[in-house]
Amino acid sequence: VADGSYGTENTENPGWEGVDRTIAHLDLDAFFFSVELRRRPELRGRPVIVAGSGPRAVVTTASYEARKHGVGSAMPAAKALRLCPDAIVVPPDGPEYRRASTEVMEILHHHVETVQQAGLDEAYIDLSGMAAPVAAMKRIVHDIETETTLHASVGMGPNRLIAKLASDADKPRGFLVLTRTQAQIRFAEAECGLIPGIGPKTQYRLTRLGIRTVAQLAATDPLALAEEFGLRTGPWLVNRARFIDDSPVEVDREAVSESRETTFDVDLTDTAELRRRLDLLSGELAAALKAHGHRGRTVGIKIRFSDFETHTRAKTLPTPVSAANDIATIAQELLNGFTLERPVRLIGVRVAGFNRSQHDAGQLTLPIG
């Protein structure tokens, strides 16, 4: 088996020249902040962080002026304010961001058919077969700017991975087209963590194996890495570093789970209050499931204690549920399985297993006669 049959160099891409696949990745620059700027132009040029108001709020995005002070996404808002005491804090406005996102996605769909939205502020676009894909993307960026005042960075390449890296490499207002060979040269000495899918934990494990750069990872035997990361993930990591990625741009991705969770401002020790909050979340989740037409067979809870230790419990039912009392009943049962001796920081509830569509599920549960 160890004949090196995983992603060997004989699969060398001759180079992307518009003859194979052509994928673009479009990423809106400092999206939440830019949307805030549309209604509050006086914020332009100022250090701004978009963050919630609670004691445990984190930064969702920051203006480039705030980033100069070391402020970054996912940083506790309190820490961000210590780094940048003059920053203006703006509370996030989800509905407004969704509206702005829809405006942009409609422009994309006006120009091209195969668009995969990946979060509110980014999308993959399959331009394969198009005669002048670069000119098309430039038109799209121009239309987005004139119609929404929002700026975007674009990366293009023979696959999603290269397109994504290219759009990140030249922000803000970047436009970078890379062949696979150009990507290999450009990112050879970059740390492995640059590659989407390689986070801090994986990067640390790679470093321990003596693999620090993208080029080093690309030169690693996939089977050797399989011993450390498993038969799927090991070779996958090497392929990422070789910029091999045949994942398609998927237009209609269906959700597989939905959840609601909350972090308490102060850790909870009162079990009755914890149960009350779990019921509230179950109600919220049920309303969302109803709105989206989802039902699922697996109900799960998540609990995070004051020391950040996190546990989950789940139960799979014979029939799918979506009603608040059904979800709450199972959630409370699952909570019974915990000894609640430590203060609780977070509680969450989740419904998964949507794989059978509501239409099918409805047919299965129709009463006979």
The span from the CA of 44 to the CA of 37, in Å, is: 7
The span from the CA of 83 to the CA of 85, in Å, is: 6
Give the residue with the Cβ less far from DNA, 19 or 256: 256
Give the residue with the Cβ less far from DNA, 18 or 193: 193
Helix (H, G, I), strand (E, B) or coil at 300: strand
The span from the CA of 231 to the CA of 202, in Å, is: 15
For the question of residue 122 being annotated catalytic, the response is: yes
The span from the CA of 272 to the CA of 277, in Å, is: 9
Give the residue with the Cβ less far from DNA, 78 or 188: 78
DSSP class per residue in 23-35: EEEEEETTHHHHH
* Identity of the residue numbered 266: V
Q: How far is the CB of 72 from DNA (least distance, A)?
A: 10
Supply φ then ψ for residue 364, to 5 degrees: -70, -30
- 165 half-sphere exposure, CB direction, 13 A CA radius: 31
**What's the Rg (C-alpha) of the chain?**
24
Structure tokens at 125: 């676009």
Q: How far is the CB of 131 from DNA (least distance, A)?
A: 30
* Identity of the residue numbered 301: I
| 136: exposed, middle or buried (Cβ count in 10 Å: 0-12, 13-18, 19+) | middle
Which positions touch DNA (CB under 7 A)?
52, 55-58, 60, 73-74, 76, 78-79, 82, 118-122, 164, 195-203, 229-233, 255-263, 288, 297-298, 300, 307-308, 310-316, 337, 345-346, 348, 352
The span from the CA of 298 to the CA of 286, in Å, is: 13
Of the residues 122, 189, 227, 261, which is catalytic? 122
Give the list of residues 6+ apart from residue 39 with CB closer than 8 angstroms, or none.
none
- 19 half-sphere exposure, CB direction, 13 A CA radius: 5
| 254: exposed, middle or buried (Cβ count in 10 Å: 0-12, 13-18, 19+) | exposed
Give the residue with the Cβ less far from DNA, 47 or 296: 296
Q: How far is the CB of 17 from DNA (least distance, A)?
A: 27
Q: How far is the CB of 91 from DNA (least distance, A)?
A: 13
Q: Edge-to-edge, what's the strand order for the sheet holding 122-126?
A: 115-117, 122-126, 23-28, 152-157, 175-177
**Cβ atoms within 10 Å, residue 247:** 10
Q: Which residues pair with 311 in a beta bridge?
A: 303
Catalytic residues: 122
